[in-house]
Amino acid sequence: MTSSDLWSAETAERYDESSAFMFAPEVLDPAVEFLADLAGDGPVLEFAIGTGRVAIPLAARGIAVSGIELSQPMVDQLCHKAELPVVVGDMATAIVPGAFSLVYLVFNTLGNLRTQAEQVACFRNAARHLAPGGRFVIELGVPALRRLPPGQQAVPFHLGADHLGFDTYDPATQDGTSHHYTRAPDGTMRYGVHRYRYVWPAECDLMAQIAGMTLESRHADWSGAPFTGDSESHVSVWRTPPN
């Protein structure tokens, strides 16, 4: 078992609702287009497939999608919506039979592995599943340390009518914590916490190199915007050797 937080049945049941903004067409459609273009004829494998936010629309395009997911309750929620083959296990070590044209990992989920060794193992596991010339894609936020002046403890990442989100960082260990304050329909507030290890893009490139992959492209988002020093996220593509 990895150091990832394990999603409970209660959390899984409300996941789609609490992450509704990630299902919005303007957020989801560019990701699906990007991944479908890279997948070609597939098949593809999603690490941390969750409830199928990305996998289901990819499968609707005729692409054969498999998944790995640590949380059985998340898989149960997925099964209510679609029949996709999923291996219950951690994305650093679990094995799915076959060779894939694409392995992808979205929505900052690499950080769920809270040690560098586990993150390196994740890259190696992606390479292990790829056919020659196959690609590994991740979507990951860039740590917002530039927005954290001395004396400030937290950086807001979402300010909405029903949800407030703040990140706190430990620069010495690269440990991060997301704090979620969510308003329930009855007006009460629910507090949730998510722990992760943040990773810089250059560190990801080194992990890919250790796994035998090279960087093919990096953009600021799924729409292909240029990645710059001011970018708050990146979509990176690494590729295995063709033979």
Please check whether residue 163 is in contact with residue 180, taking contact to mean a CB–CB distance below 8 angstroms.
Answer: yes
- Among 24, 18, 15, 14, smallest CA distance to 160 is for 18
Are 44 and 58 in contact by the 8 Å Cβ rule? The answer is yes
Q: How far apart are CA 56 and CA 61, in angstroms?
A: 9
**For helices 116-129 and 201-210, what crossing angle results, to 10°?**
50
Nearest-angstrom CA–CA distance, 241 and 243: 6
- A 10 A CB-CB count for 192 gives 14
Question: Edge-to-edge strand order for the sheet containing 65-69?
Answer: 86-88, 65-69, 44-47, 100-105, 130-141, 233-239, 214-219
Distance CA 238, CA 123 (A): 10
pLDDT of the residue at 156: 92
What average pLDDT does this structure show over 94-104? 97
CATH class of 9-143+199-239: alpha beta
- The angle subtended at Cα 215 by Cα 37 and Cα 42, nearest 5°, is 30
Bridge partners, 138 (sequence order):
105, 236
100 and 65 Cβ atoms separated by less than 8 Å: no
Cβ–Cβ under 8 Å, residues 67 and 45: yes
Q: Is the pTM of this model over 0.75?
A: yes
Q: Is the pLDDT of residue 3 over 80?
A: no
Residue-wise pLDDT for 225-239, tens only, equals 999 999 999 999 999
Neighbours of 169 (CB within 10 A): 18
Confidence of residue 67 (pLDDT cuts 50, 70, 90): very high
Return the CATH class of domain 145-193: mainly beta
Show me where the domains of the chain are located.
Answer: 9-143+199-239, 145-193
* pLDDT at residue number 146: 86
